[in-house]
């Protein structure tokens, strides 16, 4: 048993903070010129959630989830200076990241020995991509923080079933849904898993009710504008980006220098741009994207089955044909390979159909990879699942040690 003094704890926290400050200093993304920046600008200047303008008309957003741009807007509304605004974003992300490290230690203590939990926390705290993420203006750090909160409350609910953790679970679930619309599927599956374990239908209904109440203002906004109860409508866009004749594992941009790289869409997009129904543009254009993606898949199903397998492998292990700069640097690729192999070892050695916590994490991990592989795979996606992968890796280490070294 490793005994840690208070002094060592403070030194560890100082090191965790310091390496993130260094990351921000050297790699800070000081421009918010992506989709988040566009939505922030429109919120700030026109009080509307919109990511695109057509002939001067700001199209109501249904493409991007609302939480991160609103988060940015709340910060910006209190700070006028642009540099101070960015500094506050990085400071808050630093706090989220450090809190995520503390949460991961608490999570691991629920599942493993103190020694193994400490090793896992150190790996997580200094995982290169995790440290780098703090320096980027994206929703990833917030998402990981919320996911760790979700995981911690799930474990507590699975073991103790206290009302307090139902509220934590409901809040983190609602915020994750507002950050990533597809997370609603995993919340429902998780709730069913808990219900099967504790057989308490009343708690199941209470949690679903709380989640719906928390996300209902945005659901109402979308119903009022688009006539549909939904968080986002980007299924068609993401499916087409990852499944067209030019697609690779990372997908392919549908717009940019090669605007209308898919000429089949030209007439439909042009007609939609010239229509009088721009209010529902995000809803209608996504249907065009979806139908075209399905057509491509029907025309050459074997190609897209093979592409799906490549994407699944890229997420599960490594992308063998990445276009991202520094993806294949030893600092990035070696930790990913090690943690991926250990996660896979855990799944191969232990998976069964019993209702227990470790099987839940395996199902969560594989189902996420399976879902993302229908679309396209980016390096940051594996970072989002790092907490789950870490849990499976430590279980893999424990199993390998028990099987071969005891």
- Residue 60 pairs in a beta bridge with 50
For the segment 61-87, the average pLDDT, to the nearest whole number, is 91
pLDDT band at 68 (very low <50, low <70, confident <90, very high): very high
pLDDT at residue 267 is higher than 80: no
Rounded to whole angstroms, the Cα distance separating 157 from 204 reads 11
More confident residue, 177 or 10: 177
What's the chain's average pLDDT? 89
φ, ψ at 58 (rounded to 5°): -80, 115
Confidence at residue 291, expressed as pLDDT on a 0 to 100 scale: 92
pLDDT per residue over 21-66, tens digit each? 999 999 998 777 778 889 999 999 999 999 988 888 999 999 999 9
pLDDT score, position 258: 41
Cα–Cα distances in Å, from 96 out to 24, 37, 146, 228?
14, 21, 9, 33
Provide the pLDDT for residue 327.
79
The pLDDT tens digits for 105-115 are: 999 999 999 99
HEC string of 13-47?
A: HHHHHHHHHHHHHHHCCCCCCCHHHHHHHHHHHHC
0.95 surpassed by pTM: no
Confidence grade of residue 255 (pLDDT, cut at 50, 70, 90): low
Paired strand residues for 50: 60
Tokens 């789950």 locate to: 388
Contacts of 215 (CB under 8 A, 6+ apart): 174, 177, 178, 231
Phi first, then psi: what are they for 334, rounded to 5°?
A: -65, -50
The helices-and-strands tally (H runs, E runs) of the chain is: 18, 2
Helices 357-372, 140-159: axis angle to 10 degrees equals 150
**More confident position, 243 or 200:** 243
CB atoms closer than 10 angstroms to residue 307 = 19
* pLDDT on residue 1: 63
Whether the pLDDT of residue 134 is over 90: the answer is yes
13 — pLDDT class (breaks 50, 70, 90): very high
Distance CA 90, CA 84 (A): 10
Distance CA 364, CA 163 (A): 24
Confidence at residue 262, expressed as pLDDT on a 0 to 100 scale: 66
Residue 276: partners with Cβ closer than 8 Å, 6 or more residues away: none
Residue 249 near residue 311, CB atoms below 8 Å: yes
Out of 100-114, 128-142, 392-406, least confident range: 392-406
Give the total residue count for the chain.
Answer: 406
Structure tokens at 288: 């065009």
Band (261; pLDDT cuts 50, 70, 90): low
List phi, psi (to 5°) of 57. -95, 125
Asked if residue 17 lies in contact with residue 90, where contact means CB atoms within 8 angstroms, the answer is no
Question: Residue 259: is its pLDDT beyond 50?
Answer: no
Q: Is 11 a residue whose pLDDT tops 80?
A: yes
Give the distance from CA 13 to its chain's centroid: 25
**Above 90 in pLDDT, residue 117?**
yes
């Amino acid at each position: 048993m490793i005994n840690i003094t208070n002094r060592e704890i403070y030194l560890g926290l100082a090191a965790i903070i310091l390496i993130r400050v260094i990351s921000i200093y050297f790699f800070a993304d000081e421009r918010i010129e992506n989709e988040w920046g566009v939505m922030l600008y429109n919120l700030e200047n026109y009080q509307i959630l919109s990511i695109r303008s057509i002939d001067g008309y700001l199209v109501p957003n249904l493409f991007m989830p609302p939480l991160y741009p609103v988060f940015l807007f709340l910060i910006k509304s209190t700070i006028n200076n642009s540099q101070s605004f960015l500094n506050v974003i990085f400071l808050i992300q630093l706090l989220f990241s450090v809190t995520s490290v503390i949460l991961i230690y608490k999570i691991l203590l629920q599942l493993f020995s103190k020694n193994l939990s400490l090793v896992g926390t150190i790996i997580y705290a200094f995982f290169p991509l995790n440290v780098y993420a703090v320096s980027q203006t994206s929703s990833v750090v917030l998402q990981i923080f919320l996911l760790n909160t979700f995981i911690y409350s799930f474990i507590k609910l699975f073991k103790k079933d206290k009302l307090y953790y139902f509220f934590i679970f409901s809040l983190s679930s609602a915020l994750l849904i507002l950050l990533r619309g597809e997370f609603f599927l995993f919340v429902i599956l998780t709730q069913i898993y808990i219900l099967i374990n504790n057989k308490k239908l009343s708690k199941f209904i209470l949690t679903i009710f709380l989640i719906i109440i928390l996300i209902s203002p945005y659901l109402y906004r979308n119903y009022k504008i688009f006539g549909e109860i939904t968080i986002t409508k980007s299924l068609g866009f993401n499916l087409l980006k990852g499944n067209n004749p030019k697609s690779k594992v990372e997908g392919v941009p549908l717009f940019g220098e090669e605007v209308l790289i898919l000429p089949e869409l030209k007439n439909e997009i042009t007609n939609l741009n010239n229509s009088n129904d721009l209010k529902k543009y995000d809803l209608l254009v996504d249907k065009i994207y979806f139908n075209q993606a399905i057509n491509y898949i029907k025309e050459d199903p074997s190609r897209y089955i093979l592409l799906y397998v490549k994407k699944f492998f890229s997420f599960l292990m490594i992308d063998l044909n990445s276009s991202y700069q520094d993806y294949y640097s030893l600092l990035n690729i070696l930790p990913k390979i090690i943690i991926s192999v250990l996660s896979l070892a855990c799944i191969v050695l232990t998976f069964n159909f019993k209702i227990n916590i470790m099987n839940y994490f395996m199902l969560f991990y594989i189902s996420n990879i399976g879902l993302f592989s229908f679309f396209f795979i980016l390096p940051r996606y594996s970072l989002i699942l790092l907490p789950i992968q870490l849990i499976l890796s430590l279980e893999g280490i424990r199993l390998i040690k028990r099987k071969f070294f005891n």
